[in-house]
Amino acid sequence: MKNNTDTKDSVMEKIVALCKRRGFVFQGSEIYGGLKGTWDLGPLGVALNNNLKREWWKMFVDNREDVYGLDAAILMNGKVWEASGHVAGFFDPLVEDTETGERFRADHLLKDVGVEADGMSLEELDAAILEHKVMSPKGNTLSPARQFNMMFESRIGATAGPEGKVYLRPETAQGIFVNFKNVVDTMSPKIPFGIAQIGKAFRNEIAPREFLFRVREFEQMEIEYFVKEADWETEFEKLRADIVAWHEHLGLSAENIREYEVPENDLAHYSKRTIDFEYNYPGKGFDELAGFAYRTDHDLKNHMEASGKSMEYIESDGTRFVPHVLEPSFGVGRALTAVLCEAYTEDEMNGEVRPYLKLPNHLAPFRVAVSPLLKNKPELVEKARMVFKALQAEFGNVAYDENGNIGKRYRRQDEIGTPYCVVVDFETLGQEAPDLIDTVTVRNRDTSEQERISIANLVNYCQ
């Protein structure tokens, strides 16, 4: 956010309002009063989200020779989650308002009063709540903290017994681990190599909050990168640089990103080392954007033991070993929020505040918008439609906008982050000056400057 005199809180409120007003993000099940922890992406949100995921896939899969793609089923055999340790260890600490029964995360309530509670045991949480006289938001006392498993459970088919129990996956990673052998057998990758997946994950968050930041249904973009144990530190540094490059590609400025070394007592049950990449969200401050973990051989070893199937990698000289794993894990919604926060800009134009999204060209929902100067002049409309079709064939995501006056159209497109607005006018038709025939006005979102460009050069200009 630039040129902004507002408090950071109100900036976030403005972004949330813009998302709703312009069709980026809607509350889930809104007409029924919503469903906490769910959001729906509107027409512009899904365009931005798809662009973000496509760029990620290009950078981490298509443009690399050592990473293979995968799309595993969301529903998996319940034994997967026993072997992975999620049934026994995927918990958050829960406390209840003793009057209303409302549920909260104990560590979050402590954080709200300035106490860092990451990694505390249940006893330590209870003691800290007592010491700092922490109450529920309604001012009531809190129950002792207890562990709450965050996996959603369901039943498969008509089976009533425990054998029918399934979980909605809380991370996409396990779909990759259970397919490790399939990918090795079919693609013959040379170690080190990675398997990448983008897909939905589900967590029964005790207290979903802060827009897309903590939700119950979200998307992850994950890579499990398989290495020899002796190489994990070298490969860790290489992937760490790739993550930095990805955040640069999203247009996130270096001063808004920081790396946080997760302390040992707060590591996930599978991790020996984790770095959180944090973004400086307005009104919230630095918080996790993506995680990068060294998962050792925890997952493959456990699946090998539980399934009885070998998860070994065999080298050309016959050496067999269970690879160790590095895991860059990105939440799509958190990246999308960071991109929107970074892009939100206000400046003054003709004495009025102009809010706009300074999105990178490769992420903007529309690359360019095309308009006829006047919508009641068929010759202008016909030419504008021709230009629109030509640009659409190249970029796909092109808007045709003929409503209201040109100034209003520019404002509308600025607000949703369209980098260029093309206007077809009488000069385009050669009616004003013959040398301007087949040229259009292109107006730049960020500078508001206009240039006369020949239609033949438009695609190049809007790259």
Q: Residue 72 interacts with ligand GAP (CB under 6 A)?
A: no
* Smallest gap from residue 177 Cβ to ligand GAP (A): 10
Q: Residue 199 interacts with ligand GAP (CB under 6 A)?
A: no
H or E segment at 48?
helix 43-57
Residue 218 or residue 420: which is nearer to ligand GAP going by CB? Answer: 218
Judged by CB under 6 A, the stretch of 186-194, 218-226, 257-265, 342-350 that binds ligand GAP is 218-226
Secondary structure class of 79 (helix, strand, coil): helix
- Please name every residue paired with 142 in a beta bridge, in sequence order, or none if there are none: 97
* Residues 296-335, interacting with ligand GAP (CB under 6 A): 327, 329-331, 333-334
- Alpha helices by DSSP H, listed for 132-272, are 173-177, 180-187, 232-249
Interacting residue with ligand GAP among 126, 205, 342, 401 (CB under 6 A): 205
Q: Residue 288 interacts with ligand GAP (CB under 6 A)?
A: yes
Q: Peptide bond preceding 192: is omega within 30 degrees of 0, i.e. cis?
A: yes
- Residue 204 contacts residue 92 (beta carbons within 8 Å): no
- Tell me the CA end-to-end span of the chain in Å, nearest whole number: 24
Q: Residue 92 interacts with ligand GAP (CB under 6 A)?
A: no
Residue 334 or residue 443: which is nearer to ligand GAP going by CB? Answer: 334
Q: What are phi and psi of 96, to 5 degrees?
A: -120, 145
Cβ-Cβ contacts under 8 Å for 184 (sequence gap 6 or more):
313
Q: Residue 271 interacts with ligand GAP (CB under 6 A)?
A: no
Q: Residues in the chain, how many?
A: 463
Residue 231 or residue 288: which is nearer to ligand GAP going by CB? Answer: 288
Q: Residue 222 interacts with ligand GAP (CB under 6 A)?
A: yes
Please tell me the distance from the alpha carbon of residue 47 to that of residue 51, in angstroms, as a whole number. 6
Residue 332 or residue 423: which is nearer to ligand GAP going by CB? Answer: 332
Q: Residue 173 interacts with ligand GAP (CB under 6 A)?
A: yes
H or E segment at 200?
strand 193-202
Rg (CA), the chain: 26
* Smallest gap from residue 252 Cβ to ligand GAP (A): 13
Judged by CB under 6 A, the stretch of 49-57, 79-87, 211-219, 255-263 that binds ligand GAP is 211-219
Q: Which residue has the tokens 């107006």?
A: 443
Q: Residue 278 interacts with ligand GAP (CB under 6 A)?
A: no
For ligand GAP, the binding residues (CB under 6 A) are 171, 173, 203, 205, 214-215, 218, 220, 222, 288, 290-291, 327, 329-331, 333-334
